[in-house]
Chain A
């Protein structure tokens, strides 16, 4: 017995192309609107201001050492002439991450609440993570044309699973006693979700978003093959012309962007270190005022 799987997929792709073109165009227009909006927003910021903003963010969220790194690294990027390309890539990453969150967070919540949903979604996530990107790059280009839109969609397919998985896991791992407390005080199902489950799952969800961002960065070169642009183009040009130097410069810019985004998003799940130190100081002060605590610790 022989199943013509490849033939069936061809037929399906052609069927979609023949019958759903208006819908595909609608999706493409929506995603295109988001990506180009983010891109024009990012490119409208003058380069020195952009660097200054990222350095200040690093200082606030992470610390002085990392702020110095951000400053030096970004100066290096603009010195290599890759600032514009980096902003293009950043806009692709942001757009892909937003899309992945819009789809992935509700999906993760649904998985956590319903075992049946989890059972269906889990193999799909496995497929998205392991299917070689080139396989869905071609139909993505066929459906949505060349450019940033199919690049974003291919990136979302590859990068979405972590946020879905970790949202599911985070909600499932919320301590049973918190759930019981929520129920005992009369939470409805949605109150339980928004007041108890999601806040307590937040560190896990943030880890998922962080991973999604990292995975979308790893897709930039592949996405540039269908015209997504950005630093991926630089790397691709380097490969095509066997120009190792150009390729390395592009690669270095990707790594720099990755490190900055990683540290910044990791810090979002926690309180800023400066702020935390300030709070600890206040508590210590309070304890000193009341040497005789109500109960021993």
Chain B
């Protein structure tokens, strides 16, 4: 990959292409009041309750270097798309400064802003946003047309852009005749046609199926190798961020949690939220025993004078080797197996459950991190019961359930 890495960037001291300085965006009626409350230490929820305003982006400060692919990552609702739209002021920032090549975008007049969007910044959208009434060529030429370029020149420039994404043969087609991947190539051609220095990509490949997505990522990296631009790429897909990102910015609840190279993020994640994004990360630190416990085992409520034969019948009916014995208040008493219970029932034991309890089945607290119980679950021949802080039965963790959880989380 002919991409700049973090070390390359720091080796050549350059001024940042884009620089954000404590940028806030508040949605709602009284943004100033909401901002004041938030700065005084109130939580987002409290601010929303008091003012009805919600904080979309809070105190975002970071620099983006020229020529890097900067990926903004976060779950939906984390403010990543909002942050992207603040850069070209499709959404007006509430406070803070956004400098592009040293000029503060937030202070630009309407005319300056339009000039900036025409010359410097292009955008690619998740839903493609191709105009359905235009041909592919006229879509690709849209930005040039808007900036007042003559027809002959803009057609040839748009054609070059289409050629670059491999769609020159479809110039006269309509967008609705193309597949999703082809549509986004047109979106990319439209964005590249006016040769911007900054490319904003809003979940640009998320609507495509995985194979095409990978292909488009490679395409983007290839185009970046041919001619370097500063790319700000919003994604919720870690795999994508790792593949194309020179640096990754992780957002949570509107706040920037961590900015770093993929390696830094993997090796020194700022918190569990960041950690939870990663494949092969040890999710057993994030999950607690209670998150994994499932009520798939047969439970038997211990009652005076009720025969254990009925309990045996139920175990046979559900085809379970083990059953959890509970008190009337759902507290965990112990665990029996079919064999141990049958033995005691045959022996006409006066208290068949108690004497049939399997040895060494100690219940796990639901708050215990999964990492602490992995060994016990793995070493136990039967599912391990989980109880809450009042000893009430929550569920049990079987080996297969544990494996499934670990697999799904990765």
Contacts and interface: CB of A to CB of B under 8 A. Distances in A.
Interface of A: 175, 177-178, 180-188, 191, 195-196, 199-200, 202, 283, 286, 290, 293-297
A182 to B, nearest CB: 8
B167 A294 contact: yes
Nearest to B130: A181
Contacts of A290: 169
A265 B276 CA distance: 58
18 contacts: A175-B129, A180-B123, A181-B142, A183-B117, A184-B88, A184-B122, A185-B146, A186-B147, A199-B131, A200-B132, A283-B173, A283-B177, A286-B173, A294-B182, A295-B215, A296-B181, A296-B211, A297-B179
A184 to B, nearest CB: 4
Contacts of B133: 199-200, 202
B143 A186 contact: yes
Contact of A295 (B122, B146, B182): B182
A295 B188 CA distance: 15
B167 A186 contact: no
Q: Looking at chain B, what size class is its interface with the partner chain?
A: 35 or more
B131 A184 contact: no
B102 interface: no
B117 A184 contact: yes
Nearest to B120: A186
Contacts of A286: 169-170, 173
Interface of B: 85, 88, 90, 114-118, 121-123, 125, 127, 129, 131-134, 142-143, 145-147, 166-167, 169-170, 173, 177-182, 185, 190, 194, 200, 209, 211-212, 215
B88 to A, nearest CB: 6
B158 to A, nearest CB: 12
A294 B117 contact: no
B129 A178 contact: yes
Given A184-B117, A185-B123, A199-B131, 4 more contacts: A181-B123, A187-B146, A199-B134, A296-B209
Contacts of B178: 297
A221 B132 CA distance: 42
A185 B143 contact: yes
A200 B175 CA distance: 14
B90 A184 contact: yes
Given A296-B179, A296-B181, A186 B212 contact: no
A178 B179 contact: no
A295 B118 contact: no
Contacts of A296: 179, 181, 209, 211-212
B179 A295 contact: yes
Nearest to A280: B177
Contacts of B179: 293, 295-297
For B125, B127, B146, B170, which residue has the most chain A Cβ atoms within 10 angstroms? B146
Nearest to B212: A295
For A191, A200, A283, A296, which residue has the most chain B Cβ atoms within 10 angstroms? A296
A294 B114 contact: no
A200 B209 CA distance: 28
Contacts of B190: 185
A181 B129 contact: yes
A186 B125 contact: no
Nearest to A198: B133
A185 B117 contact: yes
B146 A181 contact: no
Contacts of B146: 182, 185-187, 191, 195
B182 A186 contact: no
B127 A177 contact: yes
A294 B212 CA distance: 10
B369 to A, nearest CB: 43
Given A294-B167, A295-B215, A296-B179, A195 B145 contact: yes
A292 to B, nearest CB: 12
Contacts of B215: 295
Contacts of B209: 296
Nearest to B118: A186
A176 to B, nearest CB: 9
Contacts of B177: 283
A286 to B, nearest CB: 7
A199 B174 CA distance: 14
B129 A188 contact: no
B143 to A, nearest CB: 4
A78 B180 CA distance: 54
B198 to A, nearest CB: 11
A246 B177 CA distance: 53
